Amino acid sequence: MAKKTNRLYYKIRKSPIVVIGGAVLLWIAGVAAGEPERVWEQACQICLSCIGLG
Amino acid sequence: MEFIRKWLQVIFTFAVNGNWSFPFTRGIYQGPLKVICSPGLNCYSCPASTTYCPIGSLQNLIGGVRLAIENGQHFFGLSVLGGMGVLGGLFGRLICGWMCPFGFVQEMLHKISSKKVKIPRLLNYGKYGVLLVFVVLLPLFMVDDFGSGGPWFCKTLCPAGTLEAGLPLLLLQPHLRSTLGVLFVGKMMVLVLFMVWSVFSSRPFCRVMCPLGAFYGLFSRVRLVRMQLDKQRCTNCEACHAVCPMEVKFNENPNDPECITCMACMSKACKCNAIYVEIGGVPIHAGAKPVESSSADVAVRQGQEG
């Protein structure tokens, strides 16, 4: 019984859920635009300028 | 706790660098796993890397935004930003403390016996400037004749790229040595600076220059997993100050953007069980040492304060 009462006092934070939800929406928008394929293409090439060569 | 954290750092380092056949192939991994975002700073041109670097990808997408629009593509970096946002919203800078390979390298270097030096707090703001200028503004506005911007942070500053990609590729592919120039010399100097600095100060790159750390730091107040302080138990003894690798004064600001949630304050310093981990507002660990009050009491008081 006491355990049940204690649980009522937990203040669940909503801000992380809102932030993560917003980020998921961004991710979905990017995926829908076809970005992962572009990211994959970039990541599969040695980016010489990225590592200070070339 | 420290033992578990160290092992997780090792596991994550090898997980995001899982292409161990690179000494034989002499190239980089090109498989499907490279659509997965590395949580920490880990160069995707590293021969062993099996994931993409969020900072590198973000710069490339921002730099290529004009060309993409011209070609009718809507590549604004939203998927990368969203991926980083999910990680930041879940863990924030806990990633720096538990999952980042370059953070792990700096921690190992700091174990070398030497006189230890503090980093002035003002320098901590440098990384926000790096994030804004080198990751967003320069790739967006410093464009070539074709309207394409470059990855300025990777190109001029990133020591992780030099260590994980530049040096190994120079060893594996000798023909690349002919491309060495001023840029590489500058990047080597940055790498040496932070390697040496890491011996004397704790995680200097994470605190002064890392744009990914700066990004995750923006989530310090809203992240799901964080550490909190029970002010009724805290005696302000400041024991937490002494053990913090990021020089956070936890009892003064539990949501400090520098906190990497290494939990050293909770497991090594606090004798009063005043520091605990909470997930979304629910305390899950009220310190390592037993005290008279139970963890349920902490939760109840937390609720009353809130």
Q: Measure B169 CA to nearest chain A CA, in Å.
A: 9
- The phi and psi torsions of B285 (rounded to 5 degrees) equal -150, 110
Confidence (pLDDT) at B204: 97
From first to last of its 306 residues, chain B has per-residue pLDDT tens of 889 999 999 999 999 999 888 888 888 888 899 999 999 999 988 999 999 999 999 999 999 999 999 888 889 999 999 999 999 999 999 999 999 999 999 999 999 999 999 999 999 999 999 999 999 999 999 988 888 888 999 999 999 999 999 899 989 988 888 888 888 999 999 999 999 999 999 999 999 999 999 999 999 999 999 999 998 999 999 999 999 999 999 999 999 999 999 999 999 999 988 999 999 988 886 544 444 444 444 444 444 443
Q: Strand pairing of B282-285 and B225-229?
A: unpaired
- Residues in A touching B170 (Cβ below 8 Å): 53
Confidence (pLDDT) at B296: 45
Task: Output the six-digit token pair for B228.
Answer: 């909190």
Q: Measure B296 CA to nearest chain A CA, in Å.
A: 7
CA dist B195 and B85 (Å) reads 29
Q: Where are the alpha helices (DSSP H) in chain B?
A: 2-16, 22-25, 54-63, 65-70, 78-91, 94-98, 101-110, 126-130, 138-141, 152-156, 159-161, 167-172, 182-200, 204-208, 211-217, 239-243, 264, 295-305
Contact B179 A8 (CB under 8 A): no
Contact A54 B82 (CB under 8 A): no
β-pair partners for B278: B226, B283
Confidence (pLDDT) at B285: 64
Q: Shortest CB distance from A50 goes to which of B154, B219, B282?
A: B154
End-to-end CA distance of chain B: 28
Residue-wise burial string across B174-189, b where 16 or more C-beta atoms lie within 10 A, e elsewhere: eebeeeeeebbeebbe
CA dist A47 and A54 (Å) reads 9
Q: Measure B118 CA to nearest chain A CA, in Å.
A: 30
Distances (CA, A) of A22 to A27, B79, B83, B85, B281: 9, 12, 11, 8, 19
Interface check for A9 against chain B (CB to CB < 8 A): the answer is yes
Q: Shortest CB distance from A26 goes to which of B78, B90, B176?
A: B78
Interface check for A46 against chain B (CB to CB < 8 A): the answer is yes
Going across the sheet that includes B225-229, the strands are: B225-229, B275-279, B282-285
Mean pLDDT, residues A22-47:
92
* pTM for the whole structure: 0.88
Contact B151 A47 (CB under 8 A): yes
- Residues in A touching B282 (Cβ below 8 Å): 10, 12
Contact B75 A16 (CB under 8 A): no
Inter-residue contact A54 to B179 (CB < 8 Å): yes
Q: Looking at this protein, which amino acid is placed at residue B18?
A: G
Q: Looking at this protein, which amino acid is placed at residue B16?
A: V
The widest CA-to-CA distance across chain A, in whole angstroms, is 69
Task: Output the six-digit token pair for B234.
Answer: 């805290």
Interface check for A1 against chain B (CB to CB < 8 A): the answer is no
